[in-house]
Amino acid sequence: IHKFWETQPVGQFKDVGDSSLAEGPIEPPTPLSEVKQEPYNLPSAYEWTTCDMDSEETCLEVYNLLKNNYVEDDENLFRFNYSREFLGWALRPPGYFASWHIGVRAKASKKLVAFISGVPARIRVREHVVKMAEINFLCVHKKLRSKRLAPVMIKEVTRRVHLENIWQAAYTAGVVLPTPITTCQYWHRSLNPKKLIDVGFSRLGARMTMSRTIKLYKLPDSPVTPGFRKMELRDVPAVTRLLRNYMSQFSVAPDFDETDVEHWLLPKESVVDSFLVESQYTREVTDFCSFYTLPSSILGNQTYSTLKAAYSYYNVSTKTPLLQLMNDALIVAKKKDFDVFNALDVMENESFLKELKFGPGDGQLHYYLYNYRIRHALKPSELGLVLL
Ligand code: YNC
Ligand code: MG
């Protein structure tokens, strides 16, 4: 039933529970000279293009392809609308490869009709730090679906990753493929319940009125934790130490150094927000929280066109209880006019979701590794990785 995925070095369904299979790479690297030198063949009406994300014009083409054709919810009410600034950030981390930003154009019109991307990352699996590609933004134009273009795009990005001498990858999808390392659930915390109900994102609870619902989700005007402030450039060393120490408890997590923290966690307007708690006495950074901005287009509503969503990213609590830290994150997100705050049940998130009035979403997010077998599936709480 998975004609393509059955041919790939990924954990296969038939091997689930087979404890004779060792954890680690499924296939060894091949000499670079043996990596196919030419791109895979596309149907003759199409051609490969490398998308230069430094070019405003190309960035806009990728933005528009995704805005009109990327991920929708099960009921087709919403579609992710990653901003141009976000795409520029997500696709150009330290050491990125322009060759991993892969487009497909119609030869005749030069219109961009498909895209897939990778960025390099060091990901720790238990005690092993592995160089990987994080694969994201796989998108085929709605009019070209079910023509087996996706497998060609996946093989092409794999070839270009191999050319950089990288042999593993991490990715997430809403669909079940062979075979998830874990399956996570999204939880949603209403910040603007009236709008969420009006656009069909949420429903008025049983025996609830609109005014009682608004009151239920009300938040203070400003954070309650003394020393809670926005992260700054000077905080990069302290945040890196705090994060590295905290992430060591998870089975799979990024191995962030200071350059990574500066890129992925330093606040960037309308892209990523980060806050920390600095002890008033010792000036020590004891806690950290962050979220990224990912609006969704609201499909066919007369009043509203955009749902402004914040997504929980990396959080660390050592002194401030995580519950209080995340409540402050909700407060600042509300102040920034987000409609909803989303979080996965990864890391220690379960400890605050119910108490802070998050509700479970429908639909799951499956995490995968390419060419790396893990012995048993993880619990979401054992996962320390958030992909965009
Ligand atoms: C998916 N999301 O199972 P089988 S997530 C991977 N990820 O293959 P066709 C997927 N594979 O089952 P369509 C997938 N969705 O026969 C489908 N597939 O073995 C598999 N949607 O291809 C599927 N973006 O071209 C099947 O399908 C085969 O025209 C069918 O295209 C699929 O970015 C898609 O959800 C998703 O744009 C492009 O539906 C299209 O339907 C679409 O006939 C809306 O494909 C947007 C959307 C996906 C978001 C994401 C992560 C992608 C990971 C890709 C795998 C990376 C592997 C590692 C590579 C580097 C390795 C190194 C080293
Ligand atoms: Mg297709």
Condensed to tens digits (0 to 9), the pLDDT of residues 331-365 reads 999 999 999 999 999 999 999 999 999 999 998 99
Q: 110-127 pLDDT, tens per residue?
A: 999 999 999 999 999 999
Closest ligand 1 atom to residue 136 Cα is 33
CB distance 200 to 339 below 8 Å: no
Query: Which spans in 163-265 are helix H?
Result: 193-198, 210-216, 236-247, 258-265
Q: Taking 90 as the threshold, does the pLDDT of residue 50 lie above it?
A: yes
As a whole number of angstroms, the distance between CA 147 and CA 42 comes to 11
Ligand nearest to the CA of 138: 1
Residue of 135, 145, 115, 196 lying closest to 10 (CA atoms) = 135
Ligand 1 centroid – CA 30 distance (Å) = 25
Nearest-atom number in ligand 1 for the CA of 116 is 33
Residue 312 — pLDDT band, cuts 50, 70, 90? very high
How many A from CA of 145 to the centre of ligand 1?
Answer: 10
Distance 115 CA to ligand 1 centre (A): 11
Is the pLDDT reported for residue 303 higher than 90?
Answer: yes
Q: How far, in Å, are 171, 180, 209, 248, 352 from residue 366 at the CA level? A: 9, 6, 35, 22, 22
* Three-state secondary structure call for residue 114: strand
- The helix/strand count (H/E) of the chain reads as 9, 17
DSSP state of 12: -
First and final C-alpha spacing in the chain: 28
Name the one residue in this structure whose structure tokens are 């060393």. 237
Q: pLDDT tier at 77 (50, 70, 90 boundaries)?
A: very high
Report whether residue 310 contacts ligand 1, using a CB cutoff of 6 Å: no
User: Nearest Cα to 186, choosing from 162, 197, 202, 169?
Assistant: 202
- Under 8 Å between Cβ of 149 and 310: no
pLDDT, mean of residues 71-89: 97
Predicted pLDDT at 180: 98
Give residue 260 CA to ligand 1 midpoint distance, Å.
27
Query: Residue 235 has what pLDDT?
Result: 98
CA distance 104 to 74: 26
Residue of the CA atom closest to atom 47 of ligand 1:
71
Residues 294, 78: Cα–Cα separation, whole Å: 12
Nearest C-alpha neighbor of 192 from the set 296, 337, 304: 337
Averaged pLDDT score across all residues of the chain: 98
Residue 253 has pLDDT above 90, yes or no: yes
When pLDDT is averaged across residues 318-343 and rounded to a whole number, the result is 98
Q: How far apart are CA 325 and CA 333, in angstroms?
A: 12
Ligand 1 pocket test target in 116, 140, 164, 367 with most atoms within 8 Å of CB: 140
Domain architecture of the chain: domains with CATH = 5-175 (3.40.630.30), 183-382 (3.40.630.170)
Mean pLDDT, to the nearest integer, of 368-378? Answer: 97
Structure tokens at 117: 């991307």
What pLDDT is recorded for position 363? Answer: 83
388 catalytic? Reply is yes
At residue 251 the predicted structure's pLDDT band, cuts being 50, 70 and 90, is very high
Q: Which atom of ligand 1 approaches the CA of 144 most closely? A: 29
Mean pLDDT, rounded, for 274-293: 98
Averaged pLDDT, 174-203? 98
User: Residues near 263 by Cβ (< 8 Å), separated by ≥ 6?
Assistant: 89, 93, 94
Pairwise CA distance, residues 4 & 82, whole Å: 28
Q: What percent of the chain has pLDDT over 70?
A: 100
The candidate with the shortest Cα–Cα distance to 252, out of 184, 158, 153, 326, is 184
pLDDT of 226 higher than 90: yes
- Residue 131: strand pairing partners: 122
Please report how many Cα atoms fall inside a 13 Å half-sphere around the Cα of residue 276, on the Cβ side. Answer: 22
- Is 256:386 a contact under the CB 8 Å cutoff? no
- ipTM for the assembly: 0.99
Handedness of CA 260, 262, 263, 267 (dihedral sign): positive
Which H helix or E strand runs over 85?
helix 84-91
Q: What is the C-alpha to C-alpha distance for residues 218 and 193, in angstroms, rounded to an integer?
A: 9
Helix%, strand%, coil% for the chain, nearest 5: 30, 30, 45
Query: Which pair of structure tokens corresponds to residue 120?
Result: 């390099």
User: Atom 29 (ligand 1): residue with closest C-alpha?
Assistant: 145
In whole angstroms, what is the distance from residue 51 CA to residue 62 CA? 8
Q: Is 100 in the pocket of ligand 1 (CB under 6 A)?
A: no
In this structure, are residues 139 and 145 in contact, taking their beta carbons and an 8 Å threshold?
A: no
91 Cα to the center of ligand 1, angstroms: 19
Cβ-contact 341, 189 below 8 angstroms:
yes
pLDDT recorded at residue 30: 97
76, 132, 138, 297, best to mutate for ligand 1 pocket (most atoms within 8 Å of CB): 138
Quick count: other Cβ atoms within 10 Å of Cβ 203? 9
